[in-house]
Amino acid sequence: MSINERSIVKDNNDNDIQLGQGTLLKRIDYLDTKYGMRKDDMCITDSENRLFWFDYYNNCICTLNDNSVTNYSDSLSVTNILNMYDDLHLPKILYDKTNNELYFGNIRKDSDLYSIIFNTKYNIATSLYND
């Protein structure tokens, strides 16, 4: 988050004086221009060190780690699995901190619902469930 910086300077009596506003800047800083989320979208979860979300426009699961956005589903070679589903309109994405697992569910193929489980510690897709 970008803020208007504050500076501390000394006056003639060696007292600290704060200069600046310390308020949020009125600009938008983009972490990435290729991946993102829809406005008011809540298909997002976090782990201990990453943020995960579903990008509807690119049909992929993304992650933010150390101010870098990556296509998580591409890095785990599951993009072809996501592309075969009929409806990714309202997927659910949850993180299980105990098992280091990312749950991506409520994806529809014909009349069935499926979920994909990822182990984020080892960065592998571990399971595909028919809900």
Model confidence pLDDT, tens digit, residues 100-127:
999 888 777 777 888 889 999 998 999 9
pTM of the model: 0.69
What is the 8-class DSSP label of residue 81?
A: H
For residues 118 and 77, give the distance between their C-alpha atoms in angstroms, rounded to a whole number: 12
Residue 116 burial by Cβ neighbours in a 10 Å radius (0-12, 13-18, 19+)? buried
What CA–CA distance (Å, rounded) separates 36 from 85?
21
Residue length, the chain? 131
pLDDT tens figures, 41-68: 667 777 878 888 888 888 888 998 888 8
Question: Which secondary structure element, helix H or strand E, spans residue 72, and what is its range?
Answer: helix 72-75
Across-strand partners of 107? 114
